[in-house]
Amino acid sequence: MAAEIIDGKAFAAKVRGQVTEHVTRLKEEHGITPGLAVVLVGEDPASQVYVRSKGKQTVEVGMNSYEHKLDADTSEADLLALIDQLNKDSEVHGILVQLPLPKHLDEDLVINSIAPEKDVDGFHISNVGLLGTGQKSMVPCTPLGCLMMLRDYHGSLSGLDAVVIGRSNIVGKPMAQLLLGDSCTVTIAHSRTKDLPEVVRRADIVVAAVGRPEMVPGDWIKEGATVIDVGINRIDAPEKGEGKTRLVGDVHYESAAARAGAITPVPGGVGPMTIACLLANTVTACCRANNLSEPEGLTA
Ligand SMILES: Nc1nc(=O)c2c([nH]1)NC[C@@H]1CN(c3ccc(C(=O)N[C@@H](CCC(=O)O)C(=O)O)cc3)C=[N+]21
């Protein structure tokens, strides 16, 4: 039986619709417009594409977008000064510093200089600690988007065996915390895991977040399992012509779709949900900053 395709693009559009409703209400009833500041250091072409897309979607849902583009050789002091200014700016409810940063900048130091309540990426050490202890926090966008899709498909996740492949601070670890919060039995697997195929075969839910193209073959997937593919890898596609490329996930889609109960495609799966959740987090941050009730269904 063929897997159900979890349409992240359509789901993201639905989330943006909910965000738009909240933004409209904030404006009409409270005269508040949520604002998101995105800071980009350097000229990485891929980062520029993401930042442009974020800015466009921010405006589309009715929020204010503030883009700050800094030279690749910007000093740490100048970057910290900008963040300090954004922290103090009451029109700015969310701050995102696009990663990776140029080598001469200390990523941890920079992220931890963002006011935690404006840290819409959920990367600040206090948000990490709050999530780990089950307290209200800003939740990282990619894992939050994955959780929303899993809840939508399964209803309750309670008691399910979940395997997260990858232990990064931005996806693997927070994803595991969220699944644990929804009462899954969680395994975090990684490059040193013994017999990874066997570990993955036990899983009702597989979240692949390693950044290695098509590394999870279909025969690792338990019949009927749900597969969430976080990977976005650009690979050569000579079949499309000389010098052409295409996007693939961390999962071998065709073979996994033949066994899974449900699967997210790449592109059009987790990626669009990440940006939708960034907008959702900005609305949440705005509501919290103004002591207003939080949007339902948009938080973890
Ligand atoms: N502080 C910070 N926060 C981030 O959230 C962050 C970041 N830095 N640095 C870069 C990565 C990357 N990222 C993506 C978001 C959406 C898609 C996305 O929507 N992708 C489309 C395809 C886009 C294409 O065609 O290239 C899809 O999967 O369908 C991709 C990548 C957020 N990031």
In whole angstroms, what is the distance from residue 200 CA to residue 166 CA?
12
Q: Residues annotated as binding site for NADP(+)?
A: 166-168, 191, 232
Give me 255's structure tokens. Answer: 């073979």
* % of the chain at pLDDT higher than 90: 98
pLDDT, the chain, mean? 97
Over the stretch 204-243, which tens digit does the pLDDT of each residue have? 999 999 999 999 999 999 999 999 999 999 999 999 999 9
Sheet containing 262-263: give its strands across: 4-5, 262-263, 226-229, 205-208, 161-165, 185-189
Q: Can you point out the beta strands (E) in the chain?
A: 4-5, 35-41, 64-70, 94-97, 161-165, 185-189, 205-208, 226-229, 233-236, 245-248, 262-263
**Global confidence as pTM:** 0.98
Centre of ligand 1 to C-alpha 140, Å, is 13
pLDDT at residue 24 in the model? 98
Centre of ligand 1 to C-alpha 247, Å, is 12
Q: Which residue out of 6, 39, 50 has the highest number of ligand 1 atoms within 8 Å of its CB and is therefore the one to mutate?
A: 50
Write down all domains in the chain, each with its CATH number in brackets. Answer: 30-121 (3.40.50.10860), 141-271 (3.40.50.720)
Residue 296, C-beta contacts closer than 8 angstroms, at least 6 positions apart: none
ipTM over 0.95: yes
HSE-up (13 A, CA, CB side) for residue 160? 24
Over the stretch 279-297, which tens digit does the pLDDT of each residue have? 999 999 999 999 999 999 9
Give me 127's structure tokens. Answer: 């948000």
pLDDT at residue 298 in the model? 95
In whole angstroms, what is the distance from residue 146 CA to residue 226 CA?
11
Which residue owns the Cα nearest ligand 1 atom 22?
267
Least confident of 11-20, 40-49, 189-198: 40-49
List pocket residues of ligand 1, CB cut-off 6 Å. Answer: 50, 96-99, 121, 141, 232, 247, 266-268, 271-272, 274-275
What is the pLDDT confidence band of residue 2, given thresholds at 50, 70 and 90? confident
Atom of ligand 1 nearest to the CA of 142: 5
Centre of ligand 1 to C-alpha 291, Å, is 31
In whole angstroms, what is the distance from residue 252 CA to residue 266 CA?
10
Please list the active-site residues: 54, 98, 121
Centre of ligand 1 to C-alpha 51, Å, is 9
User: 292: closest CA among 14, 24, 20, 29?
Assistant: 29
Q: What is the mean pLDDT of residues 159-168?
A: 98
